[in-house]
Amino acid sequence: MSDGIRVGLLRRHRDFRLLWCGEVTGKFGSSVRAVAMPLIALSTLHASTWEVGLLSASAWLPWLLIGLPAGAWVDRMRRRPVMLSSAAVSFLLFALIPVTSWSGHLSVALLVAIALLTGTAAVFFQTAYTAYLPSILDPEDQPEGNAKLHGSASAAQIGGLGSAGLIVQAVGVVNAMFANAATFLVSFLCIASIRRSEPRRERKADRPAALLSEVGEGLRLVARDPWIRTLMLFGASSNLALMGYQSIQVVFLVDTVGLAPGAVGGLIAVSSTGGVAGAFVARRLADRVGTARAMLMFELGFALFALLIPTASEGVGLVLFAAGGFCVAAGVVAGNVIKSSFQQRYCPPELLGRITASTAFLNFGTMPLGALLGGWLGTAFDLRTAMWITTAGVPLAALVLLFSPIGRTRDLPTAPDATDTSATAHSQPSPS
């Protein structure tokens, strides 16, 4: 599509514009939180490296605990009310942090509890959001919609990371959490304003056996399909490494590199600009060389630059951190744009929630393990060694793609192979 058509999607599609606004503001606030919460634990509550890693792990632990049944629940319900409830809960919980600080009751344990609860809300929001997007966009608009959402979300994350240091300096590290809470309120209002009515879903039995059957169906679909299975295994191993170094990068920059806390958000924001670049070139490169080849280039080729991150030092050495982070962000976001478009076209809408949750169970479920691993490595070794070990895992994870069907083809399929009866029995998409 031309640039004019891409701009036209936001101009002509009111409901997508509202969904886009809600997602972008939420990502901005979450980026402020990603810097502010570790700084609260580190500078206000004097937490250890292990406790900072535990805090990061807590935000992702719900994917392991409820990720699978969440997909079945979302498939039983309309997706928009789920998203609204999740945004409202997140708003209230994040606003609670500065309130408890004022009253003198803020603690690392309370931060961990809030991270767990907001992480639970995020499980439902993300699962419902992924399954909801195809209901407001036609199939031919979905690749453009995914590119806009991922690219704009990356830009919002950059703005949030860059603003975090300024917000912290202006209002204090604890009060900065109000910025995060406010964005969930904006997200709630935007999603509530979407006009397109969502069809009611067929009422299913709420018996535990029925729920377990639906969860098992989602797992079987993922396990039998070579394409979804490959992307799930790659996502799990990649996120383990990514979260391993990201959970301790704030401590690494402050304690080892010697960067001032107020400058941490700015440096991470600079490195995150790669996400915008990745979203911008993802579809163009995929159209030119093929979706499977483009994914391999982004997820393996760009990931090699992660090895620049642990070489960071004061002064000019910070450029190495920024360059490594830029390339990793570009590869991850571009890969996500391609993967999201593939999954939304490849999977039938009535099963998309379960398939999304089943893949996310491992994709996101390894993130708390990665955060705990990063915290443990940072305690058992020095922080630079821990960063070397975890960043090395980023390109190693991409070998899953290289030695899979993705490494031997030009394009990802748009529908399951008709000869694979195990995959098509439940997964054949409806005609567009």
Q: Per-residue pLDDT tens for 67-118?
A: 777 777 777 778 888 889 999 999 999 999 999 988 888 899 999 999 999 9
Inside any domain, residue 426: no
Residue 91 in any domain: the answer is yes
pLDDT class of 240 with cuts at 50, 70, 90: very high
- Percent of the chain exceeding pLDDT 90 equals 28
Question: Domain for residue 375, yes or no?
Answer: yes
Q: Identify whether 205 is part of a domain.
A: no
- Residue 377 included in any domain: yes
Q: What distance lies between CA 179 and its chain's CA centroid?
A: 20
Confidence at residue 419, expressed as pLDDT on a 0 to 100 scale: 46
Query: How long, in residues, is the chain?
Result: 432
**How far is residue 241's CA from residue 236's CA, in Å, rounded to a whole number?**
9
In angstroms, the CA 342 to CA 337 distance is 9
User: Count of domains in the chain?
Assistant: 1
Amino acid in the structure at residue 387: M
Burial class (CB in 10 A: 0-12, 13-18, 19+), 206: exposed
Asked if the structure places residue 291 within a domain, the reply is yes
The CATH number of residue 310's host domain is 1.20.1250.20
Which single residue is written with the structure tokens 């709630």?
188
> Is it the case that residue 303 has pLDDT exceeding 90?
yes
261 confidence band (pLDDT: 50, 70, 90)? confident
154: left (phi over 0), alpha (psi -120 to 50) or beta: alpha
Note the helical H segments in 40-176: 49-76, 79-102, 108-136, 142-171
- Residue carrying the six token digits 């910025």: 179
- Reading the block at residue 220, the tokens are 């079987």
Number of C-beta neighbours around residue 77 at 10 A: 15
Amino acid at 62: P
Mean of pLDDT over the chain: 80
Q: Residue 342 is inside which H or E element, if any? A: helix 318-346
Cβ contact 79:128 at 8 Å:
yes
Lowest mean pLDDT across 273-277, 309-313, 323-327: 273-277
DSSP secondary structure of 196-238: SPPPPPPP----HHHHHHHHHHHHHHHHH-HHHHHHHHHHHHH
Per-residue pLDDT at 429: 30
Question: How far, in Å, CA of 311 to CA of 120, rounded?
Answer: 35
- The Cα-based distances of 45 to 38, 107, 109, 116 in angstroms read 10, 7, 10, 18
- Alpha-carbon span 322 to 309, nearest angstrom: 8
Using CA atoms, how far apart are residues 183 and 24, in angstroms rounded to an integer? 9
Asked whether the beta carbons of 268 and 35 are under 8 A apart, the reply is yes
What is d(CA 40, CA 23) in angstroms, rounded to the nearest whole number?
A: 25
**Per-residue pLDDT band at 213 (split at 50, 70, 90):** low
Expressed as residue numbers, the domain containing 302 is 8-194+218-420
Is residue 287 assigned to a domain? Answer: yes
pLDDT digits (tens, 9 = 90+) for 319-364: 999 999 999 989 988 898 888 778 777 776 666 666 766 777 777 7
Which residues does 29 contact at the CB level (< 8 Å), separation at least 6? 94, 160, 179, 180, 181, 182, 183, 184
DSSP three-state, residue 40 = helix
- Domain-embedded: residue 290: yes
Among 395, 426, 394, 402, smallest CA distance to 75 is for: 426
